[in-house]
Structure 1
Amino acid sequence: MLGALMNLLSLCLKPFGRDSGNVELGSEGREGLLWFRDIGHYASGDFSMAVVQANQVLEDQSQIESGPFGTFVGVYDGHGGPEAARYVCDHLFRNFQAISAESEGVVTTETIRRAFLQTEEGFTALVSQLWISQPNLASVGSCCLVGVIYEQTLFIANLGDSRVVLGKKVGNTGVVAAIQLSTEHNANVEAVRQELKDLHPNDPQIVVLKHGVWRVKGIIQVSRSIGDVYMKHAQFNREPLNAKFRLPEPMNMPILTANPSIISHTLHPNDSFLIFASDGLWEHLSNEKAVDIVHSHPRAGSAKRLVKAALQEAARKREMRYSDLRRIDKKVRRHFHDDITVIVLFLNHDLISRGMVQDPPLSVRSALEH
């Protein structure tokens, strides 16, 4: 148990924002609670990355990995605490690499699905090891949005309500359309509520409307995640878990799942860029607005520009100035907006078609202190 605890502490204390290899990554900086990397280079083009903190402890994590396998992008939006998102950031790509190696580097939807489920199993094992000393780790979870570019195919895998939007050129018109590629798992989506009702036909309380928000069992909005094992395994939905997470009736089957929605998309020369972001961005910006912001400005600083646009909209909704919002410290800031993570990938189809390999490999994680 002590070894598991030390392992968890090492995850929490691991430094962020370090990249392997001597790759020129462009300008990096901080503006208060905002960290950004304006421009960098990955195997299939350029990228821009930014994160702003709102919670007392940052619960968003993200990464870009690029090498012989192609490119892997992950956005992990934690809830209930930072531990699950950090665990995913440390283990999901590592599991993906190992599973891909077993199939000689070939990437398929099943490769990605296995990596998700293996990561879920690992986190569940950690919760089990720490159950007596840290029972509330059972109530910590993370949404997981992953993109993999392999040869000329883009795979998108998702748990929860983070989102990826494609900016696609419309012929030679100069217009760029916004196309959402990910499927979201949030109880506020009618199709998700219906899915839950179909899976639990004998539970009239499977989704409950509380204060205008639909929640699974009246507790959590997302229906799929890594972690949240109190909603998946009956042995973790009991004392000493905090009473607010304990269900009044026996759990006969898992309520949440870690099985991701996965799509594959053949990359087309008109596919211009991809915006990966946690729901903190989409709470304030529409798909079309986000794509327009990226399309209408230089590549450098795209992610930071999107984060600032969301913050400006959050300030407007509260009838306050953006400059005043920026002065509000973390924790209190959460009353105005969520942690927000954005990664923009610009697609260079010459590199994609030639199957260029990143040398040396690129590995970048968001670098905001927590």
Structure 2
Amino acid sequence: MVSMSLMRIVSPCWKPSVEGENSSNGGDAAGRAEGLLWYKDSGQHVNGEFSMAVIQANNLLEDYSQLESGPLSSVDPGPQGTFVGVYDGHGGPEAARFVNERLFENIKTIHGAEFTSENNGMSADVINKAFLATEEEFLSLVKNQWLHKPQIASVGACCLVGVVCSGVLYIANAGDSRAVLGRLERAIKEIKAVQLSYEHNASIESVREELHSLHPDDPHIVVLKNKVWRVKGLIQVTFSMFH
């Protein structure tokens, strides 16, 4: 399931300030700091800056992230923009790594197919189709590999994506990651947090109610285990790619 929101709060699109400096992928460490696996200091774009950091919570890092700035379409010339992806892997790193490799490429391909000179082509529908295409590709991989690599059938990834294009910010979420915008309230000179996405997590009452409605014959679809609500007593996240 993909949760989408569309907000006209960004202008204009970001572009790389230096040719070739257009991505920061999981594991591309710019250095280490106390408590951080790796971090990338602020990078300058035409209309803003970005920075990224990773904190390792488990012995095996299952998560990936990426930032791409430049053409968002396979069509040349295509519209410029910025893509940010955060992929929270669970059960292993394979799913998150696959999403890191394929989701942005699928967005560019689908966006390119719908791009015209009158229409920049980017839309919530393009991102949704890219999520679904990435999922189908991974499921095909699982079918081909699970007999000799059965563990791959049990991995998944939460996917949180932000796309900035033509002055519009698109947020897509499958899982329980959260996008938050810091907005400066000039009148009181404070930065306020604005939630841009909603989690799919069994700790949320409305999500548990939805699961019960979808599975009326299963009284154990959500179980309170060690004071934490979990799907079948196993996992908190209720929707993610490949699960």
* CA distance in 2: counterparts of 1:24 and 1:130, whole angstroms: 33
2:194 is equivalent to residue 176 of structure 1: no
> What amino acid does structure 2 have at the position aligned with 1:100?
H
Q: 1:211 to 1:96 in 2, by over 3 A?
A: same
Larger Rg, first or second structure (1 or 2) = 1
| Residue equivalent to 1:35 | 38
- Residue 21 (structure 1) shift: 4.1
Shift of 1:151: 1.1
- Identify the residue that residue 355 of structure 1 maps to in structure 2: none
- Native 8 Å contact 2:69 2:82 kept in 1: yes
Alignment length, in residue pairs? 208
Residue ranges of structure 1 left out of the alignment (5+ in a row):
1-19, 229-370
5+ long unaligned stretches in structure 2: 1-17, 24-28, 73-80
Q: Could you tell me how far 1:152 is from its partner in structure 2? A: 1.3
Any conservation in 2 of the 1:43–1:66 contact (CA below 8 Å)?
Answer: no
Pairing partner for 1:211 from 205, 220, 226: 226
Aligned to 1:98: 109
In the aligned structure 2, how far is the partner of 1:107 from the partner of 1:91?
A: 18
- For the pair 1:59 / 2:62, whether they are aligned, the reply is yes
What amino acid does structure 1 have at the position aligned with 2:40?
R
Q: After superposition, what is the alpha-carbon deviation per residue over 1:225-254, rounded to whole angstroms, capped at 9, x for unaligned?
A: 1123xxxxxxxxxxxxxxxxxxxxxxxxxx
Q: Which secondary structure does the structure 2 equivalent of 1:157 belong to? A: strand
2:97 pairs with 1:86: yes
Q: What CA distance in whole angstroms lies between the structure 1 residues aligned with 2:123 and 2:214?
A: 27
Shift of residue 165 of structure 1? 0.7
- Per-residue deviation, 1:55: 2.1
Alignment-mate amino acid for residue 29 of structure 1: G
1:176 aligned counterpart, secondary structure: strand
Q: Equivalents in 1 of 2:238, 2:22: separation in Å? A: 39
Aligned mates of 1:184, 1:21 — CA distance in 2:
36
Q: Secondary structure at the match of 2:179?
A: strand
Deviations 1:126-151 (A, max 9, x none): 11101110112111011000001111
Determine if the alignment matches structure 1 residue 49 to structure 2 residue 52.
Answer: yes
Q: Which residue in the other structure is 1:350 paired with?
A: none
- Normalised TM-score (structure 1): 0.53
Greater Cα shift, 77-86 or 217-226: 217-226
1: CA distance, partners of 2:63 / 2:82: 20
SS of the equivalent of 1:67 reads strand
**Contact 2:175 2:240 (8 Å CA) reproduced:** yes
SS of the residue 1:117 aligns to: helix
**In the alignment, which of 121, 136, 140 is matched to residue 121 of structure 1?**
136
1:216 positional shift: 1.1
Which residue of structure 2 aligns with residue 222 of structure 1? 237
Map 1:3-14 onto structure 2 (within 5 A): none
Identity across the alignment (%): 54
> Which of 210, 213, 221 pairs up with 1:195?
210
Residues 159 and 24 (structure 1 numbering): CA distance in 2 closer, same or farther, change over 3 Å?
closer
